Every structure is written in structure tokens, then in C-alpha cells.
């Protein structure tokens, strides 16, 4: 093992996510073009890029809900695409953008769906499952919604409930597509704090984000996509720079240090 390999290992020897040469087409349109992406253990990784760059498709490919045409996707050295579905559901959770349902289901029951991979096929919810679900609701800041119908919630409330469902799944790899969508500023910061705590516990977190300043403030590592290809990857200070941001997003960008944290703050426009 060389020094670079050792640097990506988690404290327990985990290697995190390693996706290589991932491609996927919709008809004649190439959506992902040989994408390489990593999400180290114990880190929050941001997946960035303009609309249509392939972020959502890549997350679905990693989760095997949309099987890629080519490429390898491994987590801790194991082939995620070849893994039995139930085992894969114990390893990873995906929180999709704008997930909604018209089912007459309570918030608590929706979160309990995250426990299905961890119990036998014919078993019902246990007290332990319900305790995990309630803890997940508390971590997502929506414990007061437990008895509400999921269909009656606002978009932001639903988003946090779906994050709670993913937390109840107890994944080692957490994939999120715009997890702060519909959330106000306080809720956005709270959501990113949850992700940072998960990373501190050794979870590999990969989140597609539109807000570059949120990524700069909360992420350890970022990957920038444009037209289905990776154009930059690395630490936020190395990647979120005008030379990368301006051609990808087509805007002028200045980068300043945050007065308290020293992390990059991006300012757009003339």
C-alpha cells in the first residue's frame, strides 16, 4: 500500500467509495462520460456542477437504481453493482431530490422503512426498530412530526423526513441529491451539521449540491461535473477557484476567505 492509499483509509481500515469510468446514455445522449469519483470515509464530499451535468444520474448509478452502461463502482473494495440488493441496502442509502408520496403513511412509518434491510423478510417492526427510527427523526430535527401524515408535509419537512429514513437505514455510505432543497437557511445548516457528524462517525457522505458556498463551508472534498465529465476534484480550497468555477458555470467568480473560518467564500457577478 502506498502513501496515497493509506491517506484514503478510514480509522477502521475502510476505503470508502471508488467509482471508475462510469458511463450512462439515454438513447443517443451521453449523460455520464467515463466518470471517476471517490468519497473517502469520514468525510463529506460534495458533488457539484450546473443543471444537466449528470449529478443525479451519477448518484442513481452508484446506488444501482439506474445501472450504468459501463464502469466499476466499489465501496470498501466490494462491487456495489454485483452485490445482492438486500446487502447493498445495508451498506448504502440514497436520499433523492423532491421525494414525495401520496400514500396514507405516517412520518414514523415512513422512517421505519429504513429498517427493512436489517430485519428478516417476514418480521414486523420491533421496539428496537422504533427506537432507531425515533432517534433518526430527532437527528433530522423532525421528531415532532412523527404522527403526521407524510402526504400533508411541506417540501422542506418531507426532505428532512427522507433524510431521517436514510439515517434509520444506518448506512456506511450515504448518497444525497440536493439534501437542502426546500430548506430555509437554519434548516440547511442543521442538515449539513448532521452530515458532518455522520462523517465524524466514519460514514462516507456524497451529496449533490447547487449552493457552492454551502459546499465550501461544509465539505471536505468536492467533485465538479460538467456535461457528464469530471473537470476537477479535490479539497475545497483547491477546486473552488475562479479557474474552475468560471468556465463551468459561465459566471465571473471571486473567492475570499471567510472572516471566521478561513474557508472560501464565493462572490459572483461583476
Of 197, 109, 185, the residue nearest 151 (C-alpha): 109
pLDDT at 15: 81
Tens-digit pLDDT profile for residues 170-203: 999 999 999 998 899 999 999 999 999 999 999 9
Residue length of the chain: 270
SS (H, E, C) the chain: CCHHHHHCCCCCCCCCEEEEEEEEEECCEEEEEEEEEEECCCEEEEEECCCCCCHHHHHHHHCCCCCCCEEEEEECCEECCCCCHHHHHHHEEEECCCCCCCCCCEHHHHHHHHHHHHCCCCCCCCHHHHHHHHHHHHHCCCHHHCCCEHHHCCHHHHHHHHHHHHHHCCCCEEEEECCCCCCCHHHHHHHHHHHHHHHHCCCEEEEECCCHHHHHHHCCEEEEEECCEEEEEECHHHHCCHHHHHHHHCCCEEEEECCCCCCEEEEECC
pLDDT at 99: 60
Of the listed ranges 40-54, 81-95, 102-116, 228-242, the one predicted with least confidence: 102-116
- The C-alpha atoms of residue 28 and residue 108 are separated, in whole angstroms, by 43
Q: What is the pLDDT of residue 7?
A: 38
For residue 113, is pLDDT > 70?
A: yes
- At 100, the pLDDT band (50, 70, 90 cuts) reads low
Name the least confident of 26-30, 99-103, 141-145, 196-200.
99-103
Contact 224, 233 (CB under 8 A): yes
- How far is it, in rounded angstroms, from Cα 53 to Cα 227? 5
Radius of gyration of the chain (CA): 19
Residue 98's pLDDT is what?
67
Inform me whether the pLDDT recorded for 115 exceeds 60: yes
Range of 36-50, 115-129, 151-165 with top mean pLDDT:
36-50
Task: Kindly report the average pLDDT of the chain as a whole number.
Answer: 91
Per-residue pLDDT band for 3 (boundaries 50, 70, 90) equals: very low
pLDDT beyond 50 at 86? yes
Instruction: Using pLDDT thresholds of 50, 70 and 90, give the confidence band for residue 119.
Output: confident
Residues 202-232 have pLDDT tens digits of 999 999 999 999 999 999 999 999 999 999 9
132-167 pLDDT per residue, tens: 999 999 999 999 999 999 989 988 899 999 999 999
Short-list 216, 150, 164, CA closest to 194: 164
pLDDT for res 186:
92
- Confidence check: pLDDT of 5 > 70: no
Average pLDDT over residues 23-34: 95
Q: Read off the pLDDT of each residue in 40-67 and give the average, rounded to a whole number.
A: 96
Amino acid at each position: 500500500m502506498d502513501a496515497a492509499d493509506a491517506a484514503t483509509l478510514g480509522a477502521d481500515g475502510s476505503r470508502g467509495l471508488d467509482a471508475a469510468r462510469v458511463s450512462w446514455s439515454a438513447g443517443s445522449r451521453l449523460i455520464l462520460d467515463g466518470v471517476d469519483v471517490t468519497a473517502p470515509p469520514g468525510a463529506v464530499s460534495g458533488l457539484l456542477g450546473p443543471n444537466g451535468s449528470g449529478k443525479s444520474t451519477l448518484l442513481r448509478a452508484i446506488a444501482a437504481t439506474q445501472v450504468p452502461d459501463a464502469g466499476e463502482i466499489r465501496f470498501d473494495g466490494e462491487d456495489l453493482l454485483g452485490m445482492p440488493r438486500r446487502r447493498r441496502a445495508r451498506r448504502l442509502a440514497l436520499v433523492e431530490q423532491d421525494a414525495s408520496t401520496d400514500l396514507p403513511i405516517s412520518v414514523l412509518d415512513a422512517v421505519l422503512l429504513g429498517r427493512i434491510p436489517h430485519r428478516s423478510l417476514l418480521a414486523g417492526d420491533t421496539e428496537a426498530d422504533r427506537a432507531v427510527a425515533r432517534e433518526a427523526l430527532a437527528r433530522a430535527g423532525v421528531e415532532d412530526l412523527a404522527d403526521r401524515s407524510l402526504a400533508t408535509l411541506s417540501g422542506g419537512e418531507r426532505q428532512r423526513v427522507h433524510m431521517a429514513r436514510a439515517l434509520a437505514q444506518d448506512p456506511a455510505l450515504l448518497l444525497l441529491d440536493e439534501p437542502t432543497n426546500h430548506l430555509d437557511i437554519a434548516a440547511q445548516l442543521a442538515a449539513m451539521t448532521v452530515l458532518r457528524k455522520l462523517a465524524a462517525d466514519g460514514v462516507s457522505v456524497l451529496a449533490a449540491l447547487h449552493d457552492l458556498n454551502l459546499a465550501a463551508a461544509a465539505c471536505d472534498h468536492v467533485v465538479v461535473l460538467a456535461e457528464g465529465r469530471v473537470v476537477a476534484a479535490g479539497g475545497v480550497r483547491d477546486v473552488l477557484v475562479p479557474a474552475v468555477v468560471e468556465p463551468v458555470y459561465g459566471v465571473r467568480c471571486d473567492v475570499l476567505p471567510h472572516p471566521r473560518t478561513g474557508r472560501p467564500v464565493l462572490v459572483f457577478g461583476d
